[in-house]
Chain A
């Protein structure tokens, strides 16, 4: 039996970027391309209709593929997402990650579910964008309401975008509504989809040393976000620890680390918003966790207590 699923040659992380038309999905993709930190990314978009990539980033265009500076590419998939994904690893064996921008009416959870059928990939996270100015109106629309709420319900991370266009009380209303819809997913407010790229990408990728707060991508990110590092010398129950750390009270947006699991040995622990994953580690590293959250929201002492609890 060819058991492709167990060949744990590094599975490519896929970030699904969903949200209705005009919420800023394309803006987020371009922002991430500009702060890719040397990662080679494949951006998959539903169509090339309204130019998906900023012109200055495009190196060349041909057929259904755009070459992007830094060794990245952008492909349109139309009705053939699965075919495009199946062909990608052989076309581009050097990729580090995939950004999958869904169509405005797609349900990102269903898209992620489909990607999970492909052994070459793993879902890193589902980011769903909403437009602060219009989301409540759309959520009440008889045609779109259930599509919007189903999109929101699938999010690991909710991005309230275009906050500059909404009044304070409107923003608060949106955040209140989202928290009621999807209490597990952290909510980030943003303008022009500007978020630290470390919230989206594997935070330890190609970084030799520990992540410093200054490494956070966005221009004003260090004012808004902070990172912390924790050493975990003793074996833990990694799955239980990860499941607890995603609870909203810790204020965690992203975490990555190598830890020694009590039963499984060295494992990688990943948290992306409401999603966590524990997988066997491919190489031996010092046991530590790097965690990122919104400045002032990251509850260091609570996190330390939680870790201690799972170490016992």
Chain B
């Protein structure tokens, strides 16, 4: 498409998210941007055009915006998927869920037979043994795959590795006398092969390709991530916690700048290893390196850990199973300093808060920082924010905060939250999307890919239905409508990234970013929202069919 030509796409239906023109049939595109949406008659006045009929039987929505994902989802697909649920890889192949430990081992054995060298390491990911009853996966299970090569499998939560005896041996851990909560021991006094938490995990990851060096600046991974985005209708995706060293930035600029790169990547600098003023300075320097398809200059901070890892900070009465309270990842003083410095510099900060005490701390810190540095449109966002109650949403509203909630969690771990981590009542209010909307808190919803699969329509399905893996509806009152859910995965997420003037709706002047769907998400039925078939995307006016991704 040359710069000055106009293409008018005819579609079966276009849902614009523009309240003054919510639904139409044609959209005119020039120079990668939207000239207008309307009937063909409304658009011909812009001059000569080509009528493109390829979407005549498709439904167009604004390109989906994934407000909390990690490009490492693309990296993980270099390993073998052994999760419990079906998952589509970047090639469009659906890997069936493994229904038993036997199937997990079988899949690894199949792959092992294809390897030629006897000591080449092998890795898997997505393992979720909670679905296989009480028995844990052990090194003996993985020893059936191989005793000569190092084998390690990452759990779906990202917080546990299972390894074979060879890995334990290489790491010096196949010995008696180990006394660490992250290294459970078997009846023989030796480690079972489970390594829990970052400390224990870091002892072994490098033996089977899960070291940070291998995962940082992963160019093939970024390309795979982009292909997954096309398959899921995503045209703007966050890479929410990257240390963004110079070499990673230059790789990302180069790759995203290629003519056929299909996604806008919004990469946040993780707040780690620097003081608050330093990270703000770094963010401002990174902002200058932004391009059309690589947006830099925002900061991500971690306030606490995870609920299922019992490292999230909970208010009274704490964890349902009596586990001690979790850990602060950043001190309150430091959060206040970060918020203050960011408000002064106009830098966007998103903060990971899982537990409700972490959310409260972030609210207190922002409230204090705003007293010192009033700001009217900061859009600081609480990410996950899973346990926030109604009063906290009211404070978010008053302080101008956004929430990006995590409904996918309900499907994957809702039953565990109900039974073990937070108990029935708080599990019911987790990810309170309806309360957020009723309170007027700007809302996005997310996958946290690779923790759960990238797929905004699946996430929307989660927010609309709130079903758990066992089929329980967890929090009937917090379900939201299909229309609201579709808005959160487009304009809602764009707003939290300060990109809502540019993307998130189909209207004059905005980027020509579309999710191209075979089925109409407003007609397929709320319970089938996740089954909407996706043709692909148009990004900056460039069509990307999923079949070619």
Contacts and interface: CB of A to CB of B under 8 A. Distances in A.
Interface in B147-203: 169-170, 172-175, 177-183, 198-200, 202-203
A113 B196 CA distance: 13
A105 B272 contact: no
Interface string B306-328: 00000001000000000011011
A117 B332 contact: no
Interface string A141-170: 001101100000000000000000000000
A14 interface: no
B242 to A, nearest CB: 13
Interface in B354-373: 357, 361
B275 interface: yes
Contact of A78 (B199, B206, B272, B327): B272
Chain B interface main SS type: loop
Contact of A2 (B172, B177, B200, B330): B172
Contacts of A81: 199
B332 A47 contact: no
26 contacts: A1-B174, A1-B175, A2-B170, A3-B175, A4-B172, A4-B175, A5-B175, A21-B331, A47-B273, A48-B273, A50-B275, A79-B272, A82-B203, A83-B212, A103-B331, A105-B331, A107-B327, A113-B179, A113-B181, A116-B180, A117-B178, A143-B313, A143-B328, A143-B332, A143-B357, A147-B328
Interface in A3-38: 3-6, 20-21
B172 A113 contact: no
B292 to A, nearest CB: 31
Interface centre among A106, A114, A144 (most CB of B within 10 A): A114
Contacts of B212: 80, 83
A106 B182 CA distance: 17
Nearest to A7: B172
Contacts of A50: 275
B328 A105 contact: yes
B178 A105 contact: no
Nearest to B199: A114
A295 B41 CA distance: 96
Given A21-B334, A79-B272, A118 B203 contact: yes
A119 interface: yes
Contacts of B330: 105
Nearest to B328: A105
Interface residues of A, number: 37
Given A2-B174, A3-B175, A83-B211, 12 more contacts: A2-B170, A21-B333, A49-B275, A105-B327, A107-B327, A117-B180, A117-B183, A117-B200, A117-B203, A118-B203, A143-B361, A146-B325
A104 interface: yes
Contacts of A194: none
B329 interface: yes
List 5 A-B pairs, minimum CB-CB distance, nearest first: A4-B172, A114-B199, A49-B275, A78-B273, A82-B202
A113 B180 contact: yes
Nearest to B274: A49
Given A76-B273, A80-B202, A105-B330, A116 B179 contact: yes
A106 B329 CA distance: 8
Nearest to A81: B199
Contacts of B179: 113, 116
A47 B329 contact: no
A5 B199 contact: no
B391 to A, nearest CB: 15
Nearest to A120: B172
Contacts of B328: 105, 143-144, 147
A6 B273 contact: no
Contacts of B425: none
A49 B170 CA distance: 35
A114 B195 CA distance: 12
A103 B334 CA distance: 11
B278 interface: yes
A5 B327 contact: no
A1 B175 CA distance: 9
A83 B202 contact: yes
Contacts of B273: 46-49, 76, 78-79
Contacts of A79: 198, 272-273
Contacts of B203: 82, 86, 117-118
Contacts of B324: 146
Contacts of B329: 105
A114 B275 CA distance: 25
Nearest to A106: B327
A154 B211 CA distance: 30
A5 B183 CA distance: 15
A2 B331 contact: no
A6 B175 CA distance: 9
Contacts of A119: 172
Interface string B272-300: 11110010000000000000000000000
A118 B330 CA distance: 26
Interface string A98-122: 0000011111001001101111000
A61 to B, nearest CB: 15
Contacts of B334: 21, 104
A114 B180 contact: yes
Nearest to B334: A21
Nearest to A49: B275
A79 B327 CA distance: 14
B294 to A, nearest CB: 24
A109 to B, nearest CB: 11
Contact of A5 (B172, B182, B325, B361): B172
Contacts of A86: 203
Interface centre among B173, B328, B329 (most CB of A within 10 A): B328
A76 B313 CA distance: 26
Interface centre among B177, B202, B203 (most CB of A within 10 A): B202
